[in-house]
Amino acid sequence: GGMDYSDAVWALNSLQTNASVLENVRRDQARGQSEDTLKAMKSFLERTGLTVEQLDQLSVIHVTGTKGKGSTCAFCEKILHNYGLKTGFFSSPHLVQVRERIRINGQPISKELFAKYFWQVYALLDQTKGEHADSLPAYFHFLTILMFHIFLREKVQVAIVEVGIGGAFDSTNIIRRPVVCGVSSLGLDHVAILGDSLEKIAWHKGGIFKPAVPAFTVTQFSGPMGVLVQRAKEIGCLLRLCPDLGDYPVEGGKLHLGLVGEHQKHNATLALQLVQTWLRHHDLPSLRGSMLPPGGY
């Protein structure tokens, strides 16, 4: 009844599609105006009654990369939910329904909750659009704002946030104080937007680093790795390389990650470092072998 889920999806889809956003990003980056995304995001956020300071209440694991960022986040979600925490996971692409992008305790948010929060946020933006040049946010930006509202209102204990594109100027990068950041394997993605070299891509991805916040990455080619290290140094972030999966000392013997395929090993080791660091930050007991989800991933 009323403004339901299907209406919400229709309204969301009528906000610029990602393709046209990408076109704008390309154009803006050519003009070097990319910081504008973050300025616009702050303004949109404030119009919905949230400040960037309030986002500090979320306990965030922020993850970027080219290959495996989604799997890394899904591993984190599974391990932390299995640990007994209320998890929130914001993921980039969705397979079937948009509500799959905002998950609580491993499940897509319900149609009812999606519709409820969507219309609350949409109404606030709609009421204030007269005073602003950028009247309504683009699709992914809107979802990012919606996610922040949902995770705060639903009181998730950990928010696992996957970057949309790049890092430095991604709409999720208005997060100021994540607990820990991760960079999965780098490769050439969205090449036309982020520049045509791995080094340029690494520069963008390293943009999620924050002062005094620990960050982890996996083995990379030396060029992009050098850029990540440099970025971390400039920002004052503590960047470390993940150990090999076989090298994990865990109480109660070796770590069994079930059937982790070769290509998933990087993502699994990154997820473990992110989770262990997050738990330590909150003075929670470390993972033990028995706490890992049965049957691997």
- Who wins on pLDDT, 109 or 246? 109
Give which of 219, 220, 215, 214 is closest to 182, Cα–Cα: 215
Distance CA 61, CA 278 (A): 8
Question: Where would I find the beta strands (DSSP E) of the chain?
Answer: 60-64, 87-90, 102-104, 107-108, 158-162, 180-183, 214-217, 238-241, 249-250, 253-254
Handedness of CA 183, 186, 189, 193 (dihedral sign): positive
The pLDDT value recorded for residue 297 is 44
Q: pTM of the full predicted structure?
A: 0.89
Distance CA 96, CA 30 (A): 33
Least confident of 155-164, 256-265, 273-282: 256-265
Burial of residue 148 (number of CB atoms within 10 Å: 0-12, 13-18, 19+): buried
Distance CA 94, CA 83 (A): 25
The mean per-residue pLDDT over the stretch 52-68 comes to 96
* pLDDT confidence bin for 243, thresholds 50/70/90: confident
Give which of 118, 100, 220, 101 is closest to 161, Cα–Cα: 101
Sequence spans of domains, the chain: 5-291
The pLDDT value recorded for residue 32 is 46
Model pLDDT for residues 65-110, shown as the tens digit of each residue: 988 999 999 999 999 999 999 999 999 877 788 999 999 999 999 9
Distance CA 163, CA 40 (A): 17
Model pLDDT for residues 171-204, shown as the tens digit of each residue: 999 999 999 999 999 987 655 555 668 898 899 9
Q: Which CATH class is domain 5-291?
A: alpha beta
Distance CA 142, CA 125 (A): 10
